Amino acid sequence: MIQGYFNWFVLLFYFLILANCNGQIETSSTIEKATKSKTTVIGASKLFKSQHSTESDNVNSGLEDKKGNLWFGTTAEGVYKFDGKTFVQYTKSDGLKSNMTYCIFESSEGEIWLGTDDGLFVFNGNAFSEVYITDPVNSLHDKFCVFNIMEDKNGTLWFATVEGVYTYDGESFELFTVSKEGKGYMSNKHNTEYMLQDTEGNIWFGSRVNDGVFRYDGTSIVNFELEELDGHKWAWPALQDKNGNIWFTNWGGAYRYDGQSFTSFTQDDGLCNKAITRIMEDKQGNIWFGGGNGICIYDGDSFTHITTKDGLPHNSVWSITEDSKQNIWIGTRNTGLCKYDGETIINLSESNDIHK
């Protein structure tokens, strides 16, 4: 029953995302409290919700930057920065056009990039400023969604957007396409949601609108077909582990690619979740899986299950991040956030909107 409700929430959540990116749903957010520097909340020891988010909203991304600050993106509360003591919240009053974020990324130059459902933004140290990938006049959509950001070994930034994949060399953006003669041709009509570069330099692309997963070797793209998991044949590339395996998420489970073949993981194999939203490898080599029934930790032999009974603020997990001190930060539905130090789970989010 719990899993059924989760699947219903997942479908509703991503329906709203896609509709929003195509301009079918308009959203607005009223900023009722702003400090002198325009940040909504400063000096909070917990992650306060100030933008009237609902229980269906999530902490959906996390990042530790080179200075040791932790960043957390959300689906309705903008983005938070945590310096180890206090949280600072950045919303539309700080330069964002939307409080719905998809991804946070730090470049090798130390720049903090933020992908949202209404544009690409970069942090200048105090606030966010918009960076235009394309001329808004020529955009095919009312809102320019940026789903994912990565940097390749040459320092080129890659952006997965609602209008295709773009590369940025520090001076200009260029739409990424491969010759139509090549197998697995991709264009701006084949949206990519997640990207990953492996240790051999290949770039992997995945999206729920395309079956299988794509691999680009610098010349051509190959489309790998996948075993269907609970009716799903797509995959999001998540990470390459210390053994060189590449892991992918799917609403029916997960895949592991060892360089030769794909192996699927489902509840029948020990996963505690049917739909896998996030995968993370910790510094000990354990693989963490997040989904609608908490977290599963895989040590290579068996799975350990963590839920609200162990202290999670919510069982629906949408973000897993390990910091330099080996603390695990878990983002959940209802804009929940907690820290796991290996022994204790500490809740770092407020359950109620501060304006209510």
Residue 229's beta-bridge partner residues?
A: 232
CB 14 within 8 A of CB 234: no
pLDDT confidence of residue 177: 77
Whether 42 has a pLDDT exceeding 60, the answer reads no
The answer on pLDDT for 96 being more than 80 is yes
Do 157 and 149 meet the contact criterion of CB atoms below 8 Å apart? yes
Q: What tens digit of pLDDT does each residue of 194-241 get?
A: 999 999 999 999 998 888 999 999 988 898 999 999 999 999 999 999
What's the mean pLDDT when you consider all of the chain? Answer: 85
Query: Which one is predicted more confidently, 328 or 35?
Result: 328
Mean pLDDT of all residues in 157-179 = 89
Average pLDDT over residues 307-336: 97
Q: Please determine, for residue 31, whether its predicted confidence score (pLDDT) is greater than 70.
A: no
129-165 in b/e form (b: 16+ CB < 10 A) is ebeebbeeeebeeebbbbbbbbbeeeeebbbbbbbbb
State the first-to-last Cα distance of the chain, in angstroms, to the nearest integer.
31
Mean pLDDT for the stretch of residues 48-74? 96
pLDDT of residue 295: 97
How much of the chain, in percent, has pLDDT values that exceed 70? 81
Assess whether pLDDT exceeds 90 at residue 180.
Answer: no
- pLDDT score of 28 more than 70: no
Is the pLDDT higher at 29 or at 310? Answer: 310
Q: What is the mean pLDDT of residues 9-37?
A: 39
Residue 36: how many other CB atoms lie within 10 Å: 6
Are the beta carbons of 280 and 288 closer than 8 angstroms?
Answer: yes
Question: Above 70 in pLDDT, residue 21?
Answer: no
Closest to 188 measured CA to CA, from 162, 149, 216, 214: 162
pLDDT band for position 164 (50/70/90)?
Answer: confident
Domains and their CATH numbers in the chain: 2-25+38-353 (2.130.10.10)
pLDDT cut 90: percent of the chain above it: 70
Are 237 and 195 in contact by the 8 Å Cβ rule? The answer is yes
Average pLDDT score over residue span 85-101: 94
- Binned at pLDDT 50, 70 and 90, residue 26 comes out as very low
* Alpha carbon distance 222, 209 (integer Å): 16
Mean pLDDT for 37-55 is 72
Chain-centre distance for alpha carbon 333: 13
Worst-scoring range by mean pLDDT, 125-129, 150-154, 267-271? 125-129
